[in-house]
Amino acid sequence: MTETAPRQAAAPREQKLLTVDCDVHPHLRNGLSDLLRYMPEAWRQRIGGGHASSGWAKEVYASEFSVPKNVLYVNPVGVMRRDAILDDGAVPASNPRVVAEQLLDPYGIDRAVLIGGNMLGLGAFPDPDLAAVVASAYNDWMTEEWLETDERFRGALVVAPQDPRLAVAEIERAGDRPGIVQIFLPLTNILMGERHYFPIYEAAADRGLPISVHPNSADGIFAKAPPLAGGVYTYYIEWHTALAQVFQASVISLVCQGVFERFPGLMVVIAEGGFAWLPDVMWRLDKDWRSVRDEVPWVKRLPSEYILDHVRFTTQPFPEPEDPGQLRALCEIVQADRTLVFSSDYPHWDFDSPVRALNALPEEWRERIRCGTALELYGDRL
């Protein structure tokens, strides 16, 4: 079991939060085998849990299976911060006490929203039942190992997108737990605006839980993962740069399929998907809607208004143009003071420092991005 710190006393309600990190990735210390004890015995047997733990058997037994992830592209510097590797060589961010010591304490992070690092590619699983079992086991693990050990952690409840009925059942089972602030929806090869997801959106909106999405490490690699334009890339740098396509397509789909008219209380959080592409998408949608809005009569307002009202974007990776005026112009277009929420992406290699990432912005914007917008987004759950 992961070593944990003693539970801290709950902060008084009147305490003013100063910094909310909306994208922190906890990791399973021993891979998905850590979840076996949270699974029904029948499922442990079905996936071959416990057959082998060392030697050649690691390569053949199902107990070593993992959620689909990047198996094609090599990042020569790795995907984790080197200084986040534990003294015993364990996976970075697999110990909540160390995360507190390395991230929360030194940077003054009052709340950290956890998006499971091992769950990103869950939407690429071909078996919907297995995906749902893994999601449930992960949520129980996250609750016990993280949310119950440090009051500053908040959780994104992961649901498997393959079967909306099972996803809704998981929201009903665990969505009201203390510490849960949003639903993490790993993406699959179905665009976010499609009716397939409507039961999930309804369940989330009824509880006031935003839907969060994130690059899934399997984009453009597995058949069930979101595809990338142009096919299969050659280099990691191509693939990693192209990931923003997924979120452009998702935002366009959500608006044009009328999701926010159908579910007016729904909020969507694009984590680590960028936002510099947003001005062009909003302009193109507005321009085309003025000409062909009879095709989508359920889109009753300018598409850009739906986006600004219902979609939030985490800051990492935060643009860093040489001319600060360009950054300010971008932030003015996307109304950064209402659409952006801070994220560090800890413990990944392109981590953004909470004390430096926003320095080019006016102080009033920084305060909104560091905390104010997140407070409005998550409300009392935060």
pLDDT digits (tens, 9 = 90+) for 123-149: 999 999 999 999 999 999 999 999 999
At 95, give phi and psi (nearest 5°): -130, 110
Task: Tell me the C-alpha distance between 292 and 306, whole Å.
Answer: 17
Q: Span 168-188, mean pLDDT? A: 98
pLDDT at 64 over 80: no
Positive/negative CA dihedral, 299, 156, 122, 75: positive
How high is the pLDDT of residue 57? 53
Task: Tell me the C-alpha distance between 302 and 304, whole Å.
Answer: 5
The tokens for 347 are 């413990």
How high is the pLDDT of residue 14? 43
How high is the pLDDT of residue 55? 55
Q: What is the pLDDT of residues 72-103, one digit of tens each?
A: 999 888 888 777 777 777 888 999 999 999 99
Identify the three-state secondary structure at position 341.
strand
Lowest mean pLDDT among 33-42, 170-179, 202-211, 295-304: 33-42
Q: Taking the complete model, does pTM exceed 0.85, yes or no?
A: yes
pLDDT at 249 over 60: yes
Which neighbouring-strand residues pair with 236?
none
Which neighbouring-strand residues pair with 311?
268
At 135, give phi and psi (nearest 5°): -60, -45
pLDDT at 62 over 70: no
Task: Tell me the C-alpha distance between 59 and 168, whole Å.
Answer: 34
pLDDT at 65 over 60: yes
Domains of the chain with CATH codes:
20-381 (3.20.20.140)
Residue 344: CB atoms within 10 A of its CB come to 25
Q: In this predicted model, which residue has the larger pLDDT, 269 or 56?
A: 269
